[in-house]
A and B are shown apart, each in its own frame.
Chain A
Amino acid sequence: MSERSLGKDLLGLESLTAEQITLILDTAEPFKEVSERPIKKVPTLRGKTIVNLFFEASTRTRISFEFAEKRLSADTVNVAALGSSVQKGETLVDTARNLEAMRIDMVVIRHPSSGAAQFLAERIRSNVVNAGDGTHEHPTQALLDLLTLRDKFGRIAGLKVCICGDVLHSRVARSNIWGLLKLGAEVAVCGPPSLMPLGIEELGVTVFRRIEDAIQWADVLNVLRLQLERMHAGFIPSLREYYRVFGVTVERLERAPKDLVILHPGPMNRGVEIDSRVADGPHSVILHQVTNGVAVRMAVLYLLAGGRPELAEAAKGKGEVAE
């Protein structure tokens, strides 16, 4: 796969090269400016139809994708599992094939099952963007985290990033680990053993058992949400106990040798994994992440829509000359 293209789909960061990740981040830069214009719209994807297929609750990601699509002038349709034929028992593939029969160009999918995005991508012609599949990957979230860190530090290589909390259930953690490692960052994870996947060290990350140790080591904390909806067994004694032992608090950050940058993919459980004073404090870049989310998603849609190398090759063969 050429480094200047992403291919047909964006399913995860595990399958991308460092060059492809950097291409997305570089492409996102000019898209930031589009959202600052008096008319926040460019005609790039005019005539393209994009379906946002959300089988799981989402506010930020869905709205962010929708803004990205609309600012590129694509036509969008939102399908939520609730209130659609999915409730009547239609399978994922049937839903997608029916949509494709209506001549759509792209599908953005959020699904509770790991691997759902790839399953779909292998069965339909449209471009597929993974907006979170089970506990597998959430590539655009990791990309916007990377873009935010690059804005803040000017680089990713050499940064020490600790991902804190519920790593077991987190697709954000997995995508971040792949992306950060590929771009040369040092990565650690920190959380209770019950929320740590077995063998996580094999990915090449350090494991901290105490949040204090993580804070001593890191330049950046990416604080994950405690995914209470996925916890059907007793993973933690209580939310108060979790906050007491693993909460990212002002008092703990004050003991750090340097100022840390705090990321959180949202939605936050204030007073559980993160102190409100930290979330709203000077070290938090949480809202910057949200702003960057739109730019990163515009870049991904743009690259996938035009990423047809065979056509680019054909155009070159015509002897086209740059004007």
Chain B
Amino acid sequence: MTGIRVLSNLASGMTVAHKRNSLLDARGFQRVLKRLAKEIADFFKSTAAEMEGPERPRLVLIGIQRRGVELAERLARLVEPMLGEPVATGALDITLYRDDLETIGPRPVVGETRIPESLDGKCVVIVDDVLYTGRTVRAALDELADFGRPARIGLCVLIDRGGRELPIQADIVGKRVKAKRGDRVDVLLNEVDGRDAVELVSGRAA
């Protein structure tokens, strides 16, 4: 439920007195996305080169609800011309795979999970906005395993803010940030928030 509260704060313009530092503006955001797309294409090519058999594997980008889904869509559009073929995208909501239902209570509404095709033998890249404790990614890996057996799973995040609680690292990182425990990293997207930006809000979230 914390997530919902944060979103509503964003919508109301966040009147609470917290220090807000820009990490990426719209131009920086575009630049980072392009680099991520290039690295995803390279990641896929090296995977394909190592794989044996007559069938070329296919690339699937799976975004984690909520902003990971839009990021995956955008990255797919950037990767497609680099590979010269369509890239499938999907959405994953990990709420039902969380390990903290008891302590945070249920999320009011679980988001959509949409897996476009069987993941058997595919090259899957999980896309999320912020990598923090690693628990979301742990849940996403568990959930993906229930949809098939991909040949390889990679992880691409826009922001790595440190603070891991599990042995999980991203293969592709847009920007590394040192954020303290009480800080919050806000990723804003055109489709959802009306502009592209990444901001660090320091101090305890209200």
Interface of B is mostly: loop
A33 to B96, CA, bound (A): 12
Instruction: Indicate whether A322 sits within 8 Å of B101 (C-beta atoms), given known contacts A23-B108, A30-B113.
Output: no
Q: Tell yes or no: B105 within 8 A of A by CB.
A: yes
Q: Tell yes or no: B111 within 8 A of A by CB.
A: yes
Tell me which of A33, A308, A314, A320 contacts B2 (CB under 8 A).
A320
A53 to B112, CA, bound (A): 33
Q: Tell yes or no: B28 within 8 A of A by CB.
A: no
The B81-134 residues at the A interface (CB cut-off 8 A) are 93, 96-98, 100-106, 108-113, 118, 130-133
Q: Tell yes or no: A321 within 8 A of B by CB.
A: yes
Q: Inside 8 A of A314's CB, which chain B residues have their CB?
A: 103
Stretch in B14-22, B41-49, B140-148, B169-177 with 4+ CB within 8 Å of A: B140-148
The B131-164 residues at the A interface (CB cut-off 8 A) are 131-133, 135-136, 142-143, 146-148
Interface pair B97/A42, CB less than 8 Å apart: yes
A302 to B146, CA, bound (A): 20
A34 to B95, CA, bound (A): 12
Q: What distance in Å separates the Cβ of B205 from its nearest Cβ neighbour in chain A?
A: 6
Tell me which of B103, B109, B132 contacts A315 (CB under 8 A).
B103
Q: Inside 8 A of B1's CB, which chain A residues have their CB?
A: 4, 312, 316
Question: Interface code A30-74, partner B: CB below 8 Å = 1, 0 otherwise?
Answer: 110110011101111000000000000000000000000000100
Q: Inside 8 A of B204's CB, which chain A residues have their CB?
A: 319
Interface pair B105/A307, CB less than 8 Å apart: yes
Q: Tell yes or no: A198 within 8 A of B by CB.
A: no
A44 to B146, CA, bound (A): 14
Interface size range on A against B: 35 or more
Interface pair B147/A44, CB less than 8 Å apart: no
Interface size range on B against A: 35 or more
Interface pair B105/A312, CB less than 8 Å apart: yes
Q: Inside 8 A of B53's CB, which chain A residues have their CB?
A: none
Q: Tell yes or no: B13 within 8 A of A by CB.
A: no
Tell me which of A72, A302, A323 contacts B136 (CB under 8 A).
A323
Q: Tell yes or no: A311 within 8 A of B by CB.
A: yes
Q: What distance in Å separates the Cβ of A50 from its nearest Cβ neighbour in chain B?
A: 15
Q: Inside 8 A of B97's CB, which chain A residues have their CB?
A: 42-44
Q: Tell yes or no: B182 within 8 A of A by CB.
A: yes
The A295-323 residues at the B interface (CB cut-off 8 A) are 302-303, 305-309, 311-312, 314-316, 319-323
Question: Interface code A1-17, partner B: CB below 8 Å = 1, 0 otherwise?
Answer: 00011000000000000
Instruction: Indicate whether A308 sits within 8 Å of B102 (C-beta atoms), given known contacts A26-B109, A322-B2.
Output: yes
Query: Which A residue sits closest to B101, measured CB to CB?
Result: A306
Q: Tell yes or no: B181 within 8 A of A by CB.
A: yes
Q: Tell yes or no: B194 within 8 A of A by CB.
A: no
Q: Inside 8 A of B108's CB, which chain A residues have their CB?
A: 4, 23, 26-27
Interface pair B109/A44, CB less than 8 Å apart: no
Question: Interface code B1-34, partner A: CB below 8 Å = 1, 0 otherwise?
Answer: 1110010000000000000000000000000000
Q: Tell yes or no: B184 within 8 A of A by CB.
A: yes
Which A residues contact B (CB, under 8 angstroms)? 4-5, 23, 26-27, 29-31, 33-34, 37-39, 41-44, 72, 302-303, 305-309, 311-312, 314-316, 319-323
12 contacts between A and B (CB under 8 A): A27-B106, A27-B109, A29-B109, A30-B111, A33-B112, A42-B97, A302-B96, A306-B101, A309-B105, A315-B103, A316-B1, A323-B131
Q: Give the 9 A-B CB pairs with smallest separation, nearest first.
A: A306-B106, A312-B105, A322-B3, A42-B96, A30-B110, A323-B132, A39-B146, A306-B101, A44-B96
